Amino acid sequence: MGNSKENEAIGVKKRGTIKQTDEEWKKQLEPEAYYVLRHKGTERPFVNNKYYAHKEKGKYYCAGCGNLLFTSDKKFDSGTGWPSYYDVYSDESITTKTDKSLGMERTEVLCARCEGHLGHVFDDGPKPTGKRYCINSAAMDFKRDEQKEKDKGE
């Protein structure tokens, strides 16, 4: 029941903070992922937004380093056009920072392992956390849960 194969597939690296130069990231990442993760870019909502309306069961990993960030069971439709979650996978998934750009004070969400920019977190989410993690699809890779048992209902 090991999951080493799964880890290989998504390119998980060793635990701990990953330090790479901007040039190295640029080579490694897709242009959109590079723009979001390394230059705090924001992708467009709704149109062509990969994971906004994505409803498959599975896990969302950092597109930069493969760190497990979010799971589909904590995803909800926020109506914003970006994938939104009310909680993170674990304490090791993300770190936050105060962001005072654009004349607002927001809380930036970064990958805890590679410090890539993921999005922002707001306090208007649903229960039980009241949090809304508003994340750029380009910053994540999705992997579907393998279904061993047949889904009941639906």
First to last CA, the chain: 28
Task: State how far the Cα of 29 lies from the Cα of 89, in Å rounded to an integer.
Answer: 23
Q: Under rule CB under 5 A, which residues in 99-138 are in contact with Zn ion?
A: 111, 113-114, 116
Size of the residue set binding Zn ion (CB under 5 A) = 8
Q: How far is the CB of 119 from Zn ion (least distance, A)?
A: 13
Is 64 one of the binding residues for Zn ion (CB under 5 A)? yes
Task: State how far the Cα of 100 lies from the Cα of 108, in Å rounded to an integer.
Answer: 9
Q: How far is the CB of 61 from Zn ion (least distance, A)?
A: 8
Q: Select from 29, 65, 138, 140 the one that contacts Zn ion (CB under 5 A).
A: 65
One-letter amino acid identity for 150?
K
Task: State how far the Cα of 119 lies from the Cα of 39, in Å rounded to an integer.
Answer: 11
Is 59 one of the binding residues for Zn ion (CB under 5 A)? no
Residues that bind Zn ion (CB under 5 A): 62, 64-65, 67, 111, 113-114, 116
